[in-house]
Amino acid sequence: MPRVPVYNLQGEAVGEIELSDSVFAVPMNSGLIHQAVVRHLANRRLGTADTKTRAEVSGGGRKPWRQKGTGRARQGSIRSPLWRHGGVAFGPHPRSYAQDMPRKMRRLALKVALSEKLRSGGLTVVEDIKLPEPKTKQMVNVLRRLGAPKKALIVTAERDELVDRSARNLPGVLASGALGLNVYDVLNHDRLIITKDAVAKVEEVLG
């Protein structure tokens, strides 16, 4: 079992914690990680883009001029895609981009991402994150003492409003509850700062 130090909010090591091999010592699987990230980004797409076909644009159904004898090309409707203000022939319409992925694969992908974060030295365990009030400056000081880079993911056992509000104005910093953890956020941030309670919850859910 990997052992990592536990820090307080002053950046001082105050103990150690053993991490579960089944969650934080999983071998790399790049194909699975790629599939999980593609699925996450696809599920974030709204798919609300829409264009009007020739049946939906305004305009009469009358033939604009007679078929023969004018010297112009034959036309059947001013709503044709060939005309200005006509319909769009192959434009987008509302659709769902959602992709499915078995639960076991989703959990394994998250385990792989957490294991890689630990192996690369990007995981920091803290005792707890308790802020007296929602102040961005306090969060900046906490991250500075922990030596966190600009892109940091803060994970608490439960969603903490004070932590959320303190971190939301910092570019590159994201706060999340343990149950909201996902592969994309873990990989997209240089440092994962997680509380001891959150570690226990993640191991309970994924273990």
List residues bridging with 18 in a β-sheet: 3
Predicted confidence pLDDT, tens digits, the chain (207 residues): 789 999 999 999 999 999 999 999 999 999 999 999 999 999 999 999 999 999 999 987 899 999 999 999 999 999 999 999 999 999 999 999 999 999 999 999 999 999 999 999 999 999 999 888 999 999 999 999 999 988 999 999 999 999 999 999 999 999 999 999 999 999 999 999 999 999 999 999 997
Q: What's domain 3-29+102-206's superfamily in CATH?
A: Ribosomal protein L4/L1 (3.40.1370.10)
- Name the helix (H) or strand (E) containing 153: strand 152-156
Q: What is the pLDDT of residue 61?
A: 82
Cα(46)–Cα(36) distance, rounded to whole angstroms? 18
What angle (nearest 5°) sits at the alpha carbon of residue 124, between those of residues 157 and 30?
A: 90
**What are the residue boundaries of the structural domains of the chain, listed by start?**
3-29+102-206
Cα(100)–Cα(122) distance, rounded to whole angstroms? 29
What distances in angstroms separate CA 98 from CA 34, 42, 102, one per listed residue?
A: 16, 6, 13
Exposure class string for 15-46: b at 16+ Cβ within 10 A, else e:
eeeebbeebbebeebeebbebbbebbeeeeee
Cβ atoms < 10 Å from Cβ of 50:
12
Q: What is the DSSP string of 93-144?
A: ----------HHHHHHHHHHHHHHHHHTT-EEEES----SS--HHHHHHHHH
3-7 vs 13-18, strand pairing mode: antiparallel
Nearest alpha carbon to residue 182 among 60, 1, 40, 22:
40
Q: Take residue 30 and report the two structure tokens written for it.
A: 């790049």
Q: Structure pTM?
A: 0.86
